[in-house]
Amino acid sequence: MAKIYLDGEFVPEDEAKISVFDHGLLYGDGVFEGIRAYDGYVFKLDEHLDRLYRSARAIKLEIPLDRDEMEEKILETLRVNGFEEAYIRPVVTRGTGSLGIDIESCTDPSVIIISKEWEALYGPELYEEGLNLLTTTIRNQPKDGLPPTVKHLNYLTNVLALMQANTWGADEALMLDTNGNVSEGGADNVFVYRKNAVYTPPVINNLPGITRDVVIDLLNDLGYQVKEENLGLAEVLTADEVFLSGTAAEVAPVAEIDGRKIGDGEPGELALQVKEEFGKITGTEETGTRISQST
Contacts with ligand PLP by CB under 6 A lie at 34, 151, 158, 184, 187-189, 207, 209-212, 245-247
Q: Which is nearer to ligand PLP, 19 or 54 (CB)?
A: 54
Minimum Å gap between C-beta 40 and ligand PLP is 20
Nearest to 133 by CA among 213, 208, 211, 237: 237
Strands 182-185 and 172-176: antiparallel
Q: Which is nearer to ligand PLP, 23 or 212 (CB)?
A: 212
Minimum Å gap between C-beta 33 and ligand PLP is 8
Q: Which is nearer to ligand PLP, 96 or 247 (CB)?
A: 247
Minimum Å gap between C-beta 49 and ligand PLP is 12
Q: Strand runs (DSSP E) across 106-240, as ranges? A: 110-116, 131-135, 172-176, 182-185, 189-194, 197-200, 226-228
Identify the active-site residue in 17, 44, 116, 151.
151
187 Cβ contact list (under 8 Å, min separation 6): 121, 158, 162, 246, 248, 249
Is 151 annotated in the active site? yes
Residue 196, phi-psi category: left (phi > 0), alpha (psi -120 to 50), beta (remainder)? left
Q: Find the helix or strand (DSSP H, E) in which 46 lies.
A: helix 45-58
Q: Which is nearer to ligand PLP, 98 or 284 (CB)?
A: 284
d(CA 286, CA 290): 10
Minimum Å gap between C-beta 59 and ligand PLP is 15
Catalytic residue positions?
151
